[in-house]
Amino acid sequence: MNSGRLVRCYYLLLGRARLPLLALLVLLTGLLALPASRVGIEQDNASMVAAEPVQQAGYRHFKELFGRDDLLLLGLQSDDLLSPTGLARLDRLTRDIEQLPGIERVFSLSNARTAIPGPFGAQPATLLPDLAAEDFSTRLDERLRQNRELGSRLLSPDRTTAAILAVPKQTDGNRLQDLVSALRRIGDELPPGNRLYLTGIPVQKADVARAIQRDQRVMIPLSVLVLGLLLLLLFRRPLGVLLPLAVMGISLTWTIGLYSLAGLQLNTVTALLPPVIMVLAVATCIHLLHGWLELAGERGEVRTLLAHRMATLFTPCLLTALTTAIGLFSLTVCDVPAVRNFGLYAGLGTLLSFILATTLVPIILSWRPLPPRHAARPPRLLRRGLRRATRLVLWQPAGVLLAAGLLSALALPGLWQIRNNTDLVRFFRPTAPLYTDTLALDRSLGGVETIEMMLTRKDGKAFDADQLQRLAAWQRELQRHPEITGSFGLPDLLGVLWRAEHPESAASLPTDNAQLLDLFDLLSGIGDRQLVRRLVSADLRHTRLSIQLHLLGSAAASRLAEELLAEGRSWLGEGISLEATGSFLLMSGDSNRLVRSLLMSFGLSLVLILAALYAAFHSWRLLLVALAPNLIPLLWTGGLMGWFDIDLNTGTAMIAAVTIGLVVDDTIHFLHRYRREQHGYAKPALVRTTLGVGPALVISTLVLALGFWVGIFGSFLPTSWFSLLTGATLVGALLCDLLVLPAGLLLLERLRRRKHAAVMLLCLLLLCALPAWAADALPQQLQQNDADLPVRSVLLPAAPPHVGSLKLLKRGTAVVLQTDLETTLLRRVLAAISRSEQQRWPAGKPGHDAMLAYLDMLSAAAAAAEQRVVDIPAGEDRRRRLQIEFIAAPPDYRLAFFLPDGRGQRTLQASRTIGAEFCLAEMRAILGEQLKLDSEGVDRILGPLLQQHTKEQP
Q: Per residue in 763-801, pLDDT tens?
A: 555 555 555 444 444 444 334 455 567 777 888 887 777
- Over the stretch 459-490, which tens digit does the pLDDT of each residue have? 888 888 899 999 999 998 888 888 888 888 98
Percent of the chain with pLDDT strictly greater than 70? 87
For CA atoms 837, 842, 843, 847, give the dihedral sign: negative
Find the range with the poorest average confidence among 519-523, 649-653, 706-710: 649-653
Query: What span, in angstroms and rounded, lies between the C-alpha atoms of 622 and 614?
Result: 8
Fold of 68-206: Alpha-Beta Plaits (3.30.70)
Could you give the C-alpha distances from 70 to 165, 202, 452, 582, 784, in angstroms and in order? 10, 7, 11, 8, 28
Amino acid at the residue 737? D
Q: Which CATH architecture has domain 3-40+207-422+589-777?
A: Up-down Bundle (1.20)
User: Which segments within 358-467 are labelled E, that is strand?
Assistant: 449-457
Indicate whether 33 pLDDT > 80. Answer: yes
Q: With helix as H, strand as E and coil as C, how does 99-118 read?
A: CCCCEEEEECCCCCEEEEEE
Position with higher pLDDT, 574 vs 682: 574
Q: What are the C-alpha distances in Å from 450 to residues 159, 487, 545, 572?
A: 22, 9, 10, 20
Average pLDDT score, the chain: 81
Start-to-end CA distance of the chain, whole Å, equals 63
- pTM of the prediction? 0.69
pLDDT band at 351 (very low <50, low <70, confident <90, very high): very high
Say yes or no to pLDDT of 686 above 70: yes
Burial class (CB in 10 A: 0-12, 13-18, 19+), 498: buried
Q: What is the pLDDT of residue 782?
A: 37
Give the burial class of 354: count Cβ atoms within 10 A of its Cβ; 0-12 exposed, 13-18 middle, 19 or more buried.
buried
pLDDT tens-digit map of 67-107: 888 889 999 999 888 888 989 999 999 999 999 988 988 98
- CA 758, CA 395: separation in Å to the nearest integer? 18
H/E run at residue 820? strand 814-823
Q: What is the pLDDT of residue 749?
A: 73
Kindly tell me if the per-residue pLDDT of 946 is higher than 70: no
Q: How many CA atoms lie within 13 A of 473 on its CB side?
A: 16
Taking a C-beta distance cutoff of 8 angstroms, is the pair 917, 841 a contact?
no
Query: 196-216 pLDDT, tens per residue?
Result: 999 988 888 888 888 877 877
Query: Is the pLDDT assigned to residue 311 strictly greater than 80?
Result: no
Give the containing element (helix H, strand E) for 911: strand 906-913
Confidence (pLDDT) at 768? 55
pLDDT tops 90 at residue 345: yes
Query: Which DSSP state fits 374?
Result: G
559 pLDDT more than 50: yes
Residue pLDDT, tens place only, 823-837: 887 888 888 888 888
Structural domain boundaries in the chain: 3-40+207-422+589-777, 68-206, 432-501+510-588, 780-947
Q: Identify the pLDDT of residue 544.
A: 92
Percent of the chain whose predicted confidence (pLDDT) is above 90: 10
A 10 A CB-CB count for 189 gives 11
- For residue 624, the one-letter residue type is L
Element (H, E) at 757: helix 757-776
Question: What is the pLDDT, as a whole number, of residue 875?
Answer: 56
Side chain identity at residue 577, one-letter code: S
Q: 387-438, pLDDT tens digit by residue?
A: 888 888 888 888 888 888 888 888 888 877 777 777 777 778 888 898 899 8
How high is the pLDDT of residue 784?
A: 47
Alpha-carbon distance 320 to 326, whole Å? 10
Region 302-310: mean pLDDT is: 75
Nearest to 749 by CA among 733, 760, 734, 738: 760
Q: Coil, helix or strand for 61?
A: helix
Percent composition of the chain: helix, strand, coil (DSSP 3-state, to 5): 65, 15, 25
What pLDDT, in 10s, does the model give residues 871-883?
776 656 778 889 9
Distance separating alpha carbons of residues 842 and 829, to the nearest angstrom: 20
**pLDDT, tens digit, for every residue of 177-197?**
889 999 999 999 999 889 999
pLDDT digits (tens, 9 = 90+) for 719-748: 788 888 888 988 998 999 899 888 888 877
Going by their DSSP bridges, the two strands 72-78 and 194-199 should be labelled as antiparallel
What is the DSSP track for 853-879? HHHHHHHHHHHHHHHTTTTSPTTS---
Contacts of 841 (CB under 8 A, 6+ apart): 847, 848, 850, 851
Q: Give the mean model confidence (pLDDT) for residues 26-32.
A: 90
Length of the chain: 954
